[in-house]
């Protein structure tokens, strides 16, 4: 399916597309399947940062995802989730590994004290939720 990502990113600094090699390496080093619309996105935009709607969003580059999740110890503190970025203010945005939905939670407490907040059942729905927020 074709997406018009520019409608989401018109106020953001975007990085050029990631390579197919980087996408394949990422996919082979995680324990879940990345959602198709997210794969389409990173094939065109390898991370971005800036305002989307009334929210600041920083989506990490494909090559930084695994290392960043290891640094945050996501498997230990938020098992079942894979962080893809943040608002640079303490809120993480992550995929639910079971169903590909996108949730948010606070990085400081991770999910030890709080429940995740559903932002979209798909990556595209997540972006739309930020645009309309």
Q: Tell me the pLDDT tens digit for each residue of 35-85.
A: 999 999 999 999 999 999 899 999 999 999 999 999 999 999 999 999 999
pTM over 0.75: yes
Q: Is residue 85 part of a domain?
A: yes
Q: What is the mean pLDDT of the chain?
A: 90
Q: Is residue 96 part of a domain?
A: yes
Q: Is residue 16 part of a domain?
A: yes
Q: Which CATH number belongs to the domain containing residue 31 in this structure?
A: 3.40.1580.10
Coil, helix or strand at residue 86: strand
Residue 18 sits at the vertex; the CA angle it makes with 7 and 34, to the nearest 5 degrees, is 80
What interhelical angle do 36-44 and 123-131 show, nearest 10?
Answer: 70
Question: Tokens 């018109």 — which residue?
Answer: 10
Report the domain count for the chain.
1
Question: Tokens 């929210």 — which residue?
Answer: 55
Average pLDDT of the segment spanning 101-107: 94
Query: Can you give the residue range of the structural domain that contains 39?
Result: 6-131
pLDDT of 5 reads: 67
């Amino acid at each position: 399916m074709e997406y018009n990502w520019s409608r989401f990113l018109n106020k953001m600094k975007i990085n050029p597309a990631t390579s197919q090699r980087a996408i394949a390496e990422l996919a082979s080093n995680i324990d879940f399947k990345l959602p198709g619309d997210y794969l389409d996105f990173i094939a065109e935009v390898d991370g971005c940062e800036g305002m989307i709607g009334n929210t600041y969003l920083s989506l990490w580059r494909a090559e930084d995802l695994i290392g960043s999740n290891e640094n945050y110890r996501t498997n230990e503190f938020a098992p079942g989730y894979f962080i893809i970025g943040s608002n640079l203010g303490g809120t993480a945005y992550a995929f639910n590994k079971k169903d590909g939905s996108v949730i948010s939670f606070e990085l400081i407490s991770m999910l030890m004290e709080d429940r995740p907040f559903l932002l979209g059942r798909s990556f595209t729905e997540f972006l739309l939720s930020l645009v309309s927020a």
